[in-house]
Chains A and B, each alone.
With several copies, the nearest count.
Chain A
Amino acid sequence: MSKLLENGTAALKSVRTGDTIMVGGFGLIGAPLTLIDALTEKDVKDLTIISNNLGEKGKGLGILLGQKKIKKGIGSYFTSNRDVGDAYRRGEIKLELLPQGTLSESIRAGGAGIGGYYTKTGVGTELAKNKEEREINGELYIFEPAIRANVALIRAWKADTLGNLVYYKTARNFNPVMATAADVVIAEVDKIVEPGELSPEEIVTPHLFVDGILLATKILTNEGVVTHG
């Protein structure tokens, strides 16, 4: 049984209307652009998207937003795409804003069998409204529940055929934690190698987290997003 996927359509086989989907990336950096492109072509809607940003205006997840396929966004910085604010004002999308550290920690918790945790971040602010407060060793914390998704779409640099992953520079960001926190995890990569070609000490995402691997055809370059292959 191979994890190698032929194309975006095959990669998104398990995505359904109403699903919660994690999408890696910090803006377009480390975003799975090929898989996002496939998602814009798939006939699904009412998606909840967990991602730091909802792409940029007309790029990445921004396209999905334009198609009105996103019911709700959970992220830390929607400001990067002005269309999100407009869609929100028109009542087309719900938003849940979390501090970036809380977003990444809640996803990690979801992947590690932790039900929820207490963080200092946000205590006493508007983002802590209605959140449970607790004093631990004389300091105030708020409760944050774990986050999981039906599907995670992530971006890595190299995969071996077993599904082990390594990442490239700051394109790593949310991808390794999202790889742990969804029922189905699909990684888009630049290169697929044989088992043994990645050092056992440097593998960041062991293969037990990864269900499918797709060669990327949408690549972020200094000149913007280009299509290969």
Chain B
Amino acid sequence: MANEIQESIASRAAKELNGPCVVNLGIGIPTLVAKYIDDQQVYFHTENGLLGVTDVDEEHQDPNLVNAGKLPVGETLGASFFNSAESFGMIRGGHVDVAILGVLQMDQTGKIANWAVPGKNIMGVGGAMDLLVGAKKVIITTTHTAKDGSSKLLKECTFPITSTRIVDMIITELAVFEVKEKQLELVELMPGATLDEVREKTEAVFSVSLKQDHLEEGI
């Protein structure tokens, strides 16, 4: 069901995962990342209690084997099951190397908002806050703009933040940003994107430090 934009973001994010590492994928675009991983030493953790998540074909689906998005998954050789308190102990305790998460908004210091919208009732938070405080590295995958065309990368979030923790990297269909000392740095343009387009669609202040091999196509 995922569209081309989502797939391009997910496949770019996959390049950031080099095993051995333990990775937790959020709902949405992050979930797509798994299919771009060949590395046998990238181990997927899901907070509902499984280390060693893998794909499952329809015929082998088990109603009691799902990921945090309640989608059917499989288990790898060497997988293990544990309870919710143990699972979040792993997350908060710093035992998950990377969390890849979606956002509703993020600010120019690297704080994100991905759990609540003002004016609507706050009905769910799930594991988002735990992953943000606990994962060693947080990578955000998101479309650059909201459905109404407004930038998701803002000077300040208008939605409630998920954590005071600063994320490490943001990947959109237009660009890759790293967060350094609470400042966004554009390090890569996605195929077909231009710096002008990124500037136009980004409210947040960011610096530009394109890696060499992106300089020609980008500017």
Contact = CB atoms under 8 A, between A and B. Distances in A.
Interface of A: 1, 26-27, 29-30, 52, 76-80, 84-85, 88-89, 95, 97-105, 107-108, 110-114, 119-127, 140, 160, 162, 164, 167-177, 180-181, 194-196, 198, 200-201, 203-204, 206-209, 220-222
Nearest to A98: B125
Nearest to B134: A113
B187 to A, nearest CB: 27
Contacts of B121: 85, 88-89
A208 to B, nearest CB: 5
Contact of B85 (A84, A177, A222): A177
Contacts of A123: 133, 163-164
Contacts of B96: 208
Contacts, number: 206
A111 B93 contact: yes
A200 B52 contact: yes
B122 A126 contact: yes
Contacts of B122: 97, 126
A125 B129 contact: yes
Contacts of B89: 101, 105, 108, 111-113, 180
A208 B45 contact: yes
Contacts of B45: 208
Contact of B20 (A1, A95, A164, A206): A1
A70 B160 CA distance: 28
B123 A175 contact: no
B88 A173 contact: no
B130 interface: yes
Interface in B78-108: 78-85, 87-96
A169 B51 CA distance: 11
B116 interface: yes
Contacts of B43: 207-208
A203 B65 contact: no
A112 to B, nearest CB: 3
Contacts of A172: 49, 81-83
Interface in B49-93: 49-52, 61-66, 70, 75-85, 87-93
B133 A113 contact: yes
B35 to A, nearest CB: 20
B127 interface: yes
A206 B82 contact: yes
B37 to A, nearest CB: 16
Contacts of B76: 195
A30 B215 CA distance: 52
10 contacts: A77-B124, A97-B122, A104-B83, A113-B134, A121-B134, A124-B161, A175-B83, A177-B84, A206-B51, A208-B43
Given A1-B41, A113-B133, A164-B80, A125 B90 contact: no
Given A1-B41, A77-B126, A174-B83, 6 more contacts: A76-B127, A101-B47, A101-B91, A123-B163, A173-B83, A177-B83
